[in-house]
Amino acid sequence: MSSKIFTPTNQIRLTNVAVVRMKKAGKRFEIACYRNKVVSWREKLEKDIDEVLQTHTVFLNVSKGQVAKKEDLVTAFGHDDHAEICKKILAEGELQISDKERQVHLESLKKEIATIVADKCLNSDTKRPYPISIIEKAIKETGYSLKPNRNAKQQALEVIKLLKDVLPIQRAQMRIRVVTPSGGKLIKNRLSQISVTESEEYDDDKITAVGILNILGCFYVHLLLGCICNVF
């Protein structure tokens, strides 16, 4: 008589998985992701969620293949749409990694943050960029605790503020020409809050202004105000 292996219908077996976990309503919910894809998704480098999730299924325990019950999902999330709940857990849950993987990730994250800071800031005394190694050492001196589930750009902004207590540091600045397509008066008021204006020219509702602005300010002007920026 042949024997058969019985697998419960509410169990799914997966291998080589990165688990993202969220605790809600007294229960633990997990999703199964591909390794190295969670951070890429959170930093908006990966756009295809099918490249991130191994399955659009919510689990109580990924390693055991135990799928979450409908009533547990409704209690915790208000509905049982696995695809939508997966997105929420992917965005807000805690990525489960080994101690070795965590250490490697933190070292890489620290290097990336230090590189961003070095690119965007100068020594306020010499007006020259800092070496990345100096920035890394200074970050350690601030006591800043790296957050593995947040991207490097966000943390770099926080670090810059703290570094002012341990280093003579300032944002790198550049001279730009800003041309507004419309709404000149409104944009002029906003520009005056973030830049030092050297000259202005008006043509109806358009304005062409030359001024000194830091790098982050340039992104703000270009992306949020819809202006054309030329560096010179």
Query: Is residue 172 within 8 Å of residue 120, measured between CB atoms?
Result: yes
- The DSSP-derived string for 51-110 is GTBS-S--EEETTTTEEPPHHHHHHHHSS--HHHHHHHHHHHSEEE--HHHHHHHHHHHH
pLDDT of residue 135: 96
pLDDT of residue 31: 97
Query: Is residue 34 within 8 Å of residue 27, measured between CB atoms?
Result: no
Measured between alpha carbons, how far is 170 from 218 in angstroms, rounded to an integer?
A: 15
pLDDT band at 214 (very low <50, low <70, confident <90, very high): low
- pTM (2 d.p.): 0.53
Query: Is residue 11 within 8 Å of residue 67, measured between CB atoms?
Result: yes
Mean pLDDT of 172-199: 57
Count the Cβ atoms, other than its own, within 10 Å of residue 172: 14
Q: Percentage of the chain surpassing pLDDT 90?
A: 46
Question: Does residue 153 carry a pLDDT above 80?
Answer: yes
pLDDT of residue 125: 92
Give the pLDDT confidence of 56-84 residue by residue, as tens digits.
999 999 989 999 999 999 999 999 999 99
Least confident of 23-27, 94-98, 132-136, 137-141: 94-98
Give the pLDDT confidence of 29-42 residue by residue, as tens digits.
999 999 778 888 98
pLDDT of residue 87: 96
Helices (H) and strands (E) in the chain, counts: 8, 11
Count the Cβ atoms, other than its own, within 10 Å of residue 126: 9
Q: Which residue has the higher pLDDT, 194 or 122?
A: 122
pLDDT band at 100 (very low <50, low <70, confident <90, very high): confident
pLDDT band at 177 (very low <50, low <70, confident <90, very high): low
Give the pLDDT confidence of 121-150 residue by residue, as tens digits.
989 999 899 999 999 999 999 999 998 878
